[in-house]
Structure 1
Amino acid sequence: MSSDDLYTVKIEPLTSGPEVVVVDSEPPMRRVLDHHHLQQQQQQQQQQQLAAREEEHKLRTHYLLAGGQDTTAGVAPVPVHLRNTAVPMQVVDNPYANGMQAQNQLMEQVRNLETELARTKQEINQLKELNTRLQQGIPDVIRKTLRDELRKPRWSALNPQDQAVQGSAASNKPRTASSNAQKRHKPSPMQRAVLKARDSPAKMTKKLLTSFFDRETLATSTLTGKGGKSKTLTKAQLDPTVVKNVVDKVTATFGISECSVRNVISQKCKEEMMIRRRRLGLDAKSK
């Protein structure tokens, strides 16, 4: 045992009796140092606890910003295990860290969606430009198609056999200098009659008849082969195939009935017959 741990007992005689005085032999400076060391340890523990609370508060804030729910309201706090008071707090299975990971995943998905949206907008703009160009070119295509259709010969529809022969011949010939050939093409008399007589059914019918038959044939023939008021006289009959082609062409162009076209044909034959009689009468008088 050291001398610092000993106590000195001093007995002094008094009149009333002996008095025992106990004196502490421990130095006062040592007690002050021990008390100061204890305070430092307590302050260090308080600082560690404060740092642990601040770290927990930061994690809770990030978790709430990521869309998590506050677990402090009506729910038991997440258990935190400490190995000892001398080391920082270790969080085991903390949901706030999972919230940060979920937030990063959401941000990555948002960036991917923004990239996809930008690419889609670019494709839409390209389609709009193509649509605008297409609409601007449609009138030119229509005008070109109409010009080509007007340049095609239309008399071939009157005779299907001629149309087939012409189509086979055109397929065998090389298509060179087609534009120059169209410029040099001269329509036939029948084609000119069709083009000139498109304003009325009667005019078109008469023009087609004069293109297929001469005036002498029309004057001496009838539609049915019978003449006179009683239809008892026998006369030459117009070619039924040609008559049918004329009727079909006029009805298809104007949408009228076949009976109307046949009446116009009969009237044309009568007119040509009257003109022929007058011409023969004038010739007889002149002789």
Structure 2
Amino acid sequence: MPPTLRQRRLGAELRKLREQAGLTSTEAAARVGIQQARMSMIEAGRYGVSADRVRAMAHTYACDDAGLTEALGDMTGRRSRGWWDEYRELLPVALVEVAELEHEATALRVAVLVTMPGLLQTAEHIRASYDQSVPALRPFEVEHRTAFRIRRQGALHGKAPVPYTAIVHEAALRMGIGGVDVVCAQLRHLIDMGEHEHVTIQVIPFGRADFPAAGQPITYAYGPVPQLDTALLDYDHGCEFLFAEAQLARYRAVLDRMQRCALDPAQSRDLIHKIAKSM
């Protein structure tokens, strides 16, 4: 099985610490006491590493951030299969990794302009959206993807739901995907989900043009420490996972500005209700 998102991220963070220490892969391997080939495999996420080894590597790299070291140690060990692994043979890898990212996040913040946030969509809305895919999906593919997205929504339910903030442009509320009945049910679902303590929904109304118009949906997944945050950009051709500090800072700023342009949750709920009544 190819390395998971979590395994690749652990390797990337260890490589980053090594580079910050000014060590080559060969030098670091010699200091840690392993072969250079194994070091390369670890940094590629293709070779398992223990928490003790990670702590030793962090010490070798003069990393004095105890929180980061412990968070990296927690990413090691034998990985139990997640429910999303059932879909690895059925769906594109990037879609499966989105579920893994959401499962591992300590909080999620998303922004969309013309689509509904995936974790807040009704089953009918999901199917209607996939029915518009180009190239067209076959019926069984639509069902696989619909079932997968519904299972992803489990992140917002259960005993320990992830805190979730959705910034939605008014245009997304008026797109009409699936017809009037589907749209009205979707809007009522947004209102209901917004009643949950851990879910915040804010709408950017028409008339606010002073927000960064990011064309693709943005998901910002918070990690156990800021260095392990991830920004996810969702394009038509696939997903892009961003880890670099400058990229993370940029998308935090984008989301902050979009949120400042949005109505507060109560005003947003009133606008969603108003749109639903007008349908």
- Alignment TM-score, normalising by the size of structure 1: 0.21
- Structure number with higher strand proportion: 2
Q: Does 1 or 2 have the higher relative contact order (CA < 8 Å, sep 6+)?
A: 2
- Structure number with higher helix proportion: 1
- Alignment TM-score, normalising by the size of structure 2: 0.21
Larger of the two Rg values belongs to structure: 1
